[in-house]
Structure 1
Amino acid sequence: MNGHDGADGRTANRRRFLAGTGAAGMASLAGCSAALDLLSGDEDSGGDDEPGLIGSGREGRDAPGGTPMSEMPDLSGTLTLYSGRGEPLVGELISYIVDTYDDFEIEPRYNSSTDLVNQIRQEGEASPADVFFSVNAGALGLLADENLAATLPDDVAGKVDSVYRDDDDQWVGTSGRARTIPYNTNQFSESDIPDDIFAFPDADQFQDSMGWAPSYGSFQAFVTAMRILNGEDEARSWLEGMIDQGVEPYSDEFTVARRIADGELGAGFTNHYYIQRVVDNRDDPPIATAFTEGDAGTIFNVAGAAVVSATDQSDLAANFIRHLLSAEAQEYFAVRTFEYPLIAEVEPVGELPTIDKLNPPELDLTRLSEIGPTLDLMREAGIDV
């Protein structure tokens, strides 16, 4: 292991890491099949035929704010990490944290977030897991509901706005993703995009020109939010209205974003970072991001982490989660995975509103795990999922 002694070594390591996250370059990112993990709300791991891309960030970006790892408690010992976030996305960050300390090791076990919650449940008090790192709030909520998550220290959970952590501080968000309306700027202007998700089925300008990915966990989480917020009848009517609009189904949301940039679609429904991945890997593509206001169309979901209650290393586990909220980690999520950082001192990449400017609806994010009724509803509307 390449450890570094003291704060000076960690500061030098930090400079190299931040320089690396902002450098040009790409790596493969495997997509996720919703059949593997219906709670995902993101596509971090699995095996879709169409890979995504990890971003290279924005050149000339200022150094991030927030607390650097050099000002955080040292990590030592061996930590077992159950990660529902795929290794292609977070492996580089985990390796960086390990390399920052001479006497620290991480034993990661990668799987879908849902499968890992089930595994921790089955293992009970014998679980070797110290930290659960989830792709979505729903799986974190399941862990907490099973009394399998410990309470985080106030100075860890308190780094994130209360909206993006458990009411009892049993888990905390580490990065986020917003639902958006990507659109082709050669076909539409921003003023052409409704700010009400329920306006789309009746908007004549979108007839036969929109795309979605109904089998994707992110889309299903969006429909789940609509069903919870507006009721099954309105959600069903919206789905049927979009079908009548001629919305085109795709296997994944990255493809939807690329087809919009190609001009094959005028607009669609995706998570925000798929647009940024297209922008990062093309020369000035004609694609931009629009948001609806205060409805399911702008739902904001989070990846996050929890200390597993069975651990006998609760301090180490909490301090590792603290490191996921460090300036370096939050910058990594911004420039490499194109997610929203969850500390105010680090801004997202791209022409996006900062997190405090978004207007998502009030919704307990853990309820996005209520996917079964949503799948039934989508099938009733005639959607193959």
Structure 2
Amino acid sequence: MEERVPTQMFGRRSFLAATGVSAAGLAGLAGCLGDDNGGDNVPIADADPLAEPVDSTAVSWDDLGDLEGEITVYSGRTRDQIDPVFEALEDEYDGFEINRDYDDNDVQVNQILQEGDAVAADLMYSQDPGALNELQDNGVLQQLPQDVVDAVPGSYREPDGHWTGVTGRVRSIQYNSDRWDGGADELPTDIMEYATDDRFEGIISTRPNSGTFRGFIQAMVERKGESETREWVRAMVEDQDIQLFSGGGDQAEAINRGGDDDPIVAFGNSYYAARILNEAPDAPIRTAYTENDAGCLFSIAGVGVLNDVANAELVAEFVRHLLAAEGQEFMMDANGEYPVVEGIDYVGELPDLEEINPPEFDLSDFDMDLQEASELLEQEGMTV
């Protein structure tokens, strides 16, 4: 886990650190002096759009209300993944500032729950749906405005609108086209075959600490059952001698590098390859996809709004900007991710979702730890 380094963090947490007052103590002080965090206690669902509502046809930032004021975001996404769109919004609106705090998903969730009513964040920007489900299960997220809920397909958000996907990614088979003979046509389209095909022995890799990899394992359990999934993991470790990485970017760079000690094939999120190809379209890294199984699982990065926010209209308008055309396009360009708004066409070096045709899974069932998947991987020795 990377060192916790807050960026532009001017909220309640920095005050607590500077004064030594505990979150509980500050909550008690607020009870004596009144609500000092500026929270207007207006449900965000009741906050009218400042201009046009967002919808599935992908409105522009020009159609939405101006952003003015400050919001605080706790991000489980890394700085390089999310800063491009944050910086673009701050450049677009002179009077708008995003106080952001970056750390791992589980750290951010635990911090939000520990801070309780004294939480500094207006919203959580999560790497995957599990952290958002954990916050919802603990009753700290409020429902989003109806236009935001309606703009995103039901499979990409929480059914009752407590969180929404902002962008998506697909599990893929990454490979080095210079070293893998036959290209994508020679790669199995059934994820289960990768555990039994001896061509992959010693040359295949994955990142088992990834939330989306654990989600992939959970999806495999749902489709194939626990016993068959366990056999697959065991075979990948014992028979295929799978190489394990702790970072998706490092894994993709190793595939692209193609050295003698580097893997040739990898299980990974497609956007890691897309980032490389966006910068260097002739790079040897390529992606292939299995067919309608857990191997091409589609998952999301998304946002959830905390119960008490300083400015409900501003926070609602910020979420609308993430789902508008420019917000979706920034994340495609910077990260190689997929849009979640139907009115936005995917533009990038990878196939669009219609070509991949990933299976549908209920992302609202994924918990933060994906505990059963984590335990299975640990028991079978697939850990870093």
Superposition TM-score tier, normalisation by shorter sequence:
0.7 to 0.9
Q: 2:247 aligns with which of 252, 260, 278?
A: 252
Match of 2:191 in 1: 197
What CA distance in whole angstroms lies between the structure 1 residues aligned with 2:277 and 2:197? 27
The Cα shift of 1:250 comes to: 3.1
Q: Could you tell which deviates more after superposition, 125-134 or 352-361?
A: 352-361
Taking the TM superposition and a 5 Å limit, the aligned residue runs for 1:149-168 are 149-168=141-160
Q: Is the 8 A contact 2:149 2:161 kept in 1?
A: yes
The alignment's C-alpha RMSD in Å is: 2.4
Q: Is the 8 A contact 2:141 2:162 kept in 1?
A: yes
Taking the TM superposition and a 5 Å limit, the aligned residue runs for 1:293-332 are 293-332=291-330
TM-score (norm 1): 0.77
Q: Is the 8 A contact 2:236 2:242 kept in 1?
A: yes
1:124 aligns with 2:116: yes
Match of 1:188 in 2: 182
Q: Is the 8 A contact 1:334 1:347 kept in 2?
A: no
Q: 1:103-155 CA deviation, whole Å, 9 max, x = no partner? A: 33322222222222222222333323222211111111111122211111121
Match of 1:347 in 2: 345
Q: 2:332 aligns with which of 331, 334, 344?
A: 334
Match of 2:228 in 1: 234
SS in 1 for 2:282: coil
**Distance of aligned partners of 1:209 and 1:81 in 2 relative to their CA distance in 1, 3 Å threshold:** closer
**Distance of aligned partners of 1:104 and 1:279 in 2 relative to their CA distance in 1, 3 Å threshold:** closer
Q: 2:76 aligns with which of 84, 97, 100?
A: 84
Identity over aligned residues, as a percent?
36
The Cα shift of 1:157 comes to: 1.9
Q: Is the 8 A contact 2:281 2:349 kept in 1?
A: no
Match of 2:361 in 1: 363
Q: Kindly provide the amino acid, as one letter, of the partner of residue 162 in structure 1.
A: G
The Cα shift of 1:268 comes to: 1.5
Larger Rg: 2
**Distance of aligned partners of 1:116 and 1:209 in 2 relative to their CA distance in 1, 3 Å threshold:** closer
Q: 2:214 aligns with which of 207, 217, 220?
A: 220
Match of 1:375 in 2: 374
Q: Could you tell which deviates more after superposition, 106-115 or 167-176?
A: 106-115
User: After the TM superposition, which parts of structure 1 deviate over 4 Å for at least 4 consecutive aligned residues?
Assistant: none
Q: 1:248-297 CA deviation, whole Å, 9 max, x = no partner? A: 23343333333333444332211101212332444623332111122221
Q: Kindly provide the amino acid, as one letter, of the partner of residue 112 in structure 1.
A: D
Q: Is the 8 A contact 1:178 1:272 kept in 2?
A: yes
**Distance of aligned partners of 1:382 and 1:127 in 2 relative to their CA distance in 1, 3 Å threshold:** closer
Q: 1:270 aligns with which of 262, 268, 271?
A: 268
SS in 2 for 1:107: strand
Match of 1:100 in 2: 92
TM-score (norm 2): 0.77
- Say how many residue pairs are matched: 325
What CA distance in whole angstroms lies between the structure 1 residues aligned with 2:175 and 2:350? 14
Q: Is the 8 A contact 2:169 2:270 kept in 1?
A: yes
What CA distance in whole angstroms lies between the structure 2 residues aligned with 1:104 and 1:215? 35
Q: 1:209-249 CA deviation, whole Å, 9 max, x = no partner? A: 32222234433332233234433211110011222023223
The Cα shift of 1:349 comes to: 4.2
SS in 1 for 2:65: coil
What CA distance in whole angstroms lies between the structure 2 residues aligned with 1:87 and 1:252? 15
Match of 1:279 in 2: 277
What CA distance in whole angstroms lies between the structure 2 residues aligned with 1:300 and 1:250? 21
Q: Is the 8 A contact 2:172 2:269 kept in 1?
A: yes
Q: Could you tell which deviates more after superposition, 283-292 or 343-352?
A: 343-352
Q: Kindly provide the amino acid, as one letter, of the partner of residue 255 in structure 1.
A: D
What CA distance in whole angstroms lies between the structure 1 residues aligned with 2:112 and 2:209? 27
SS in 1 for 2:228: helix
What CA distance in whole angstroms lies between the structure 2 residues aligned with 1:153 and 1:266? 46
What CA distance in whole angstroms lies between the structure 2 residues aligned with 1:156 and 1:193? 39
SS in 1 for 2:113: helix
Q: Could you tell which deviates more after superposition, 217-226 or 171-180?
A: 217-226
Q: 1:327-362 CA deviation, whole Å, 9 max, x = no partner? A: 111111001111112223333343423234433333
Q: Kindly provide the amino acid, as one letter, of the partner of residue 332 in structure 2.
A: A
Q: Could you tell which deviates more after superposition, 84-93 or 232-241?
A: 84-93
Q: 1:72-97 CA deviation, whole Å, 9 max, x = no partner? A: 02222322222222233222322321
Gaps of 5+ in 1: 1-31, 37-64
**Distance of aligned partners of 1:356 and 1:314 in 2 relative to their CA distance in 1, 3 Å threshold:** farther
Q: Is the 8 A contact 1:127 1:311 kept in 2?
A: no
Q: Is the 8 A contact 1:177 1:339 kept in 2?
A: yes
